[in-house]
Chain A
Amino acid sequence: MSFDADVIVVGGGLAGLSASLTAVREGLSVLVLERGEFSGAKNVSGGRMYVHALRQLVDISEAPLERPITKETYLIKCSNRAISFSFSDPESRNSYSVLRAKFDPWLAKKAEEEGVIISYNTLVLGAEREDGGMTVRTNRGDLRAPLVIEADGVTAGISRSLGLRKLEPHSLMLGVKEVVKLEGPPEEGEARVLVGFVGELLGGAFMYTNEDTLSLGATVKINSLQEGNKMARDLVEEIRESLGVTGEVLEYSAHLIPYYGYDKLPPLHAPNLLVTGDAAGLLINDGFVIRGMDLAIGSGMIAGKAAKRILSEGKPQDTSVYERMLRESFVLKDMYTARRAFTLMNEERLFRRYPELLCDVLARMFKVEGERKRLLEVVQEEASKRGLTLTKLVRDLVKVM
């Protein structure tokens, strides 16, 4: 049987475009299958990209990024009390707010200019391994290649269709978001992490400043939605109202977020298959940064290089070199570094008990009522009220350090 391309890339988002650009530069013929009418049509991100990987891929001086993020703010709310702190670094050009329906088409155009063929409006229905290659079934007929790069996002349709994995509610978060028109003069690019805005649900909220809009939303564990009393559909509106954001709402969107962590990563490769980006469960939350897009670009680029090596060997079944290359790169090294912090970012106490503990401790420290206790005693007392010990607190603190 003949092949339609050296590599079929399923999905024309960041991972898929990075993989295809790299593979074409390596001299391979590449076909990208994108279900949207354009790249980005189906993509939603919270809205912040760390651009180090993108810089390795393309010249970003013309990239339609929104604003450099120069201010990091944490806002922790516990009923009427609130804690906030900010860090400003006006010169930073390390990360930018981004709107994917604007950014992805730009990257797709770059890829097309370098010879990547993208087939839009092409919905992949499944894949099968046969005759030393992979057959990809689409709404436009079957396509074949010796190697498939899966870049179809968090729902990982190819891996599921091959029986390599199942999706589980506890390893997924739901992200809901609104894009709101920015009122008043342009502000500096700010990323706000909002704690205590989603009630009993396990998760948090965010707000990013774009060029002339704001992205605000929430990310919550699916299993906590199933068990709780809140409706996903109400989350963003509640947050918008509690923040007093009154600008015109321009778009309402939703997307799943992979929440696996290094210790629970899904299979990253199989015979004739390399898995990248969200489909590979690549996401880091270490308490300081939440990042997936640079890991998508990084893993995509590595998949493109690995594809060349695999096909040169003439054994597309043997794809293990891809995982070895990922392990040598920032992608899996950073996933590994963040693994203990990530486990903490998955704990009930982080979302519920710690914010309240912090608020109650500060409330007592900032109050004078005759006999005064030391901070350590106050922390100890407040912790034990919540079934926590100082040792436990210190252990958790060490996890993020």
Chain B
Amino acid sequence: MDLLKRLGLNKYNVDKKSHIKVNLEICRTCKEKPCIKVCPAGTYERSGDVIEVHYERCLECGAALVACPFNAIEFQFPEGGISYRYG
């Protein structure tokens, strides 16, 4: 099952503003972009030589707090966000 379909099963109350900030200057210098592999929600996608953040996909696991070896990702939990129905 496709990732976006799976995420579509979940109940979200998406915040108006993103709870994730990326320092693009640092991001640009990173070739590997391990955050893309680490995030289970596909929140980070490559866009040119930086990443694009789809914060509305976030499953709030917190992996973003350690995913970037260069600390280019600033992650706070959202005010709304996901409500698991099974958990």
Contacts and interface: CB of A to CB of B under 8 A. Distances in A.
A58 interface: no
B39 A232 contact: yes
B42 A42 contact: no
B74 to A, nearest CB: 13
A250 B13 CA distance: 18
Of the candidates A222, A237, A254, the one having the most CB atoms from chain B within 10 angstroms of its own CB is: A254
A222 B37 CA distance: 10
Given A254-B61, A254-B63, A174 B83 contact: no
Contacts of A231: 36-37
Given A123-B79, A168-B66, A256-B61, A43 B87 contact: yes
Contacts of A363: none
Nearest to A213: B86
A293 to B, nearest CB: 12
Given A40-B87, A99-B86, A249-B6, A222 B38 contact: yes
B37 A102 contact: no
A167 interface: yes
4 shortest A-B CB distances, which residue pairs?
A101-B87, A100-B87, A252-B6, A254-B61
12 contacts: A44-B61, A45-B87, A101-B86, A167-B66, A175-B61, A232-B39, A235-B40, A249-B6, A250-B85, A252-B59, A255-B62, A256-B63
Contacts of A225: 34, 37-38
Nearest to B8: A252
Given A42-B60, A255-B61, A250 B37 contact: no
A219 to B, nearest CB: 11
Nearest to A241: B1
Q: Is the interface of B mostly helix, strand, loop or mixed?
A: loop
A172 B34 CA distance: 15
B32 to A, nearest CB: 8
A99 B40 contact: no
A102 B87 contact: yes
B1 A249 contact: yes
Given A155-B62, A250-B85, A252-B7, 9 more contacts: A40-B87, A167-B62, A178-B6, A213-B86, A222-B66, A225-B38, A229-B37, A252-B6, A255-B62
Given A154-B62, A155-B65, A253 B84 contact: yes
Contacts of B51: none
B85 A174 contact: no
Contacts of A215: 86
Contact of B66 (A40, A100, A169): A169
A174 B84 contact: no
Contacts of B87: 40-41, 43-45, 99-102, 104, 251, 253
A226 B65 contact: no
B67 interface: yes
A251 B40 contact: no
Interface in B45-85: 59-63, 65-67, 69, 76-79, 81-85
Interface string A17-48: 00000000000000000011110111111000
A61 interface: no
Interface string B18-44: 000000000000000010111111100
A43 B9 contact: no
A267 interface: no
Contacts of B76: 125
Given A42-B82, A101-B85, A225-B34, A254 B41 contact: yes
B34 A253 contact: no
